[in-house]
Structure 1
């Protein structure tokens, strides 16, 4: 069988950088740098080298790459296992993987294990040097993982911001703006007694969402109640019980703000079980990452968080952190009102 330029190749041997160099007429070092996406190699040369590499079935010997460069060409995404298919994790994974396609990097999932702390998974990656950079989410204001990674000078990017956000790479959705938009939208629909089903308050985005909603409610003269003994991440049974108690204790409530579709669907069922009708005597406003809720109940008011944008940015920022350790950090704040603010 012939390859590019009509040259026969023995399929029993594994193609190497030298194989690509011979077929392309380029030096081995040029081929290596082109496959590594070196900035001083032209896009045309990179395209030519990649096409030849694909045609001969070349895959880098990762052990050799690590010996030569000290790098693994791995980006690790650390996520808490979530069995519910409506959460953002599957779309986040897909968008990061898609953004890494065509680069030297590939994505490895590292789950946070039961009965272990979130820091344990990150510490394992750093201590074993099993990745070149790590992406983490569910960020706390003073997140111990971020504190550890900064001390270790290990490349990382966060989906969310910490109190040290000025000094590290991140992508964040402006949840303070989401809280404001939710309250303002419900006010335009004539609602005045709102219940907020917020995320767990140990996470930074929950505090931002609450602050934005409280500020907007105060400015508009609306009543805002924060749901107690439950969050948008609580179990179905906890949300059903909590909503029933809240609606019994506060019959004047006429709207709900929810931070994710899972909590919204359960809450909607609990609200309807009291005889209230969504869109008539009660409104629901929810954030979602998949345009799904209007198929469930067309009357639900929604705002979509673009997870594709988040995953793409996180992947690029992770690669940037590896290449530019100690340099400027990529940061993006995605605003639901006015698009994205980048720096």
Structure 2
């Protein structure tokens, strides 16, 4: 058995946790050097940092976060405020996995803070800022005049949004091009001869709902067709609700021949609804959706 593993077992038997000094003794380095290596200090050789991290992993070293916070004023935590709507279409799982992978090999770890359905969206953000519970925030479901973003800008708190706002003050964001998605989806349906195209949009309060509507309308305008926006349902409606909605559309007097739905799960619900009404997908109706799961 190698030396680090023996030391780890001895500490465990004694009811003690490994410390920076434990790593320093095993590596033959000073405590300060070990500390800098674990912080990815640029002044140290890559080989030294890798050796220190390997020893730390073997002995199960974990920094005492309360102590780190007292000493540095940093938590090494990134918080993701998880909107309840993020259950939709495997979105939350993929988001968490992507962020976790990006943080892998760094000192930071991810904290997921759920936002309850009946909770004011600004409450979890205010809690993190006022308690300094994290060093940075990731927000989803941005709105045109997002109060969360306004507060974070006023407090000068590090954050990024998945989605855009329409605020005058620039802020960090990443986003997909929802205008382009619906524009191209509508064009594809028109190219297949579809003329009665219905779109299921995200809830109106979210910025990307307007972007999707804009791309859809632009393509229809260029083709001289009339917009048909789904009423009474949206992209966050349960799949079984959209199943019933599609069934009602199919049995109506002016059934659509094309559907745009930006979620796989919700699109599957609509496919079932059309099939139950006797429609053949790809013949009687085409459905375009955005890939939202693995």
Question: What TM-score do you get using the length of structure 2 for normalisation?
Answer: 0.89
1:16-165 paired onto structure 2 within 5 Å: 16-81=19-84, 86-164=89-167
CA, structure 1 residues 5+178, in 2 after alignment: closer, same or farther (shift >3 Å)?
A: closer
1:230-251: CA deviation from partner (whole Å, max 9, x where unpaired): 1011234543454455455562
CA, structure 1 residues 250+107, in 2 after alignment: closer, same or farther (shift >3 Å)?
A: farther
Structure 1 position 82, deviation (Å): 5.1
Measured in 1, the distance between the counterparts of 2:105 and 2:253 equals 55
Structure 1 position 163, deviation (Å): 1.9
CA contact 2:249–2:255 (8 Å) conserved in 1: no
CA contact 1:232–1:262 (8 Å) conserved in 2: no
- 5+ long unaligned stretches in structure 1: 292-343
Of residues 181, 191, 194 in structure 2, which corresponds to 1:191?
194
Task: Report the counterpart of residue 232 of structure 2 in structure 1.
Answer: 229
For the residue of structure 1 that corresponds to 2:110, the secondary structure is: strand
For the residue of structure 1 that corresponds to 2:233, the secondary structure is: coil
1:59-113: CA deviation from partner (whole Å, max 9, x where unpaired): 1010110011111111111112359573311111122112212111111110002
Measured in 1, the distance between the counterparts of 2:252 and 2:202 equals 22
CA, structure 1 residues 167+28, in 2 after alignment: closer, same or farther (shift >3 Å)?
A: farther
- Choose between structure 1 and 2 for higher RCO, CA contacts under 8 A separated by at least 6 residues: 1
1:304-326: CA deviation from partner (whole Å, max 9, x where unpaired): xxxxxxxxxxxxxxxxxxxxxxx
- Note if 1:273 corresponds to 2:276: yes
For the residue of structure 2 that corresponds to 1:161, the secondary structure is: coil
CA contact 2:7–2:59 (8 Å) conserved in 1: no
1:137-158: CA deviation from partner (whole Å, max 9, x where unpaired): 0111111111111111111111
Which of the pair has more CA radius of gyration?
2
1:158-214: CA deviation from partner (whole Å, max 9, x where unpaired): 111112487322211111110111112112222122100111111111111110111
CA contact 2:251–2:277 (8 Å) conserved in 1: no
For the residue of structure 2 that corresponds to 1:191, the secondary structure is: coil
Task: Report the counterpart of residue 209 of structure 1 in structure 2.
Answer: 212
Structure 1 position 33, deviation (Å): 2.2
CA contact 2:76–2:135 (8 Å) conserved in 1: yes
Question: What TM-score do you get using the length of structure 1 for normalisation?
Answer: 0.77
- 5+ long unaligned stretches in structure 2: none
Between the two proteins, the alignment pairs up a number of residues equal to 291
CA, structure 1 residues 206+2, in 2 after alignment: closer, same or farther (shift >3 Å)?
A: same
CA contact 2:239–2:268 (8 Å) conserved in 1: no
CA contact 1:140–1:203 (8 Å) conserved in 2: yes
Task: Report the counterpart of residue 3 of structure 2 in structure 1.
Answer: 3
Structure 1 position 22, deviation (Å): 2.6
Structure 1 position 9, deviation (Å): 7.8
CA contact 1:5–1:23 (8 Å) conserved in 2: no
CA contact 1:227–1:246 (8 Å) conserved in 2: no
Structure 1 position 126, deviation (Å): 1.1
Once superposed, which parts of structure 1, at least 4 consecutive aligned residues long, lie more than 6 Å away? 5-9
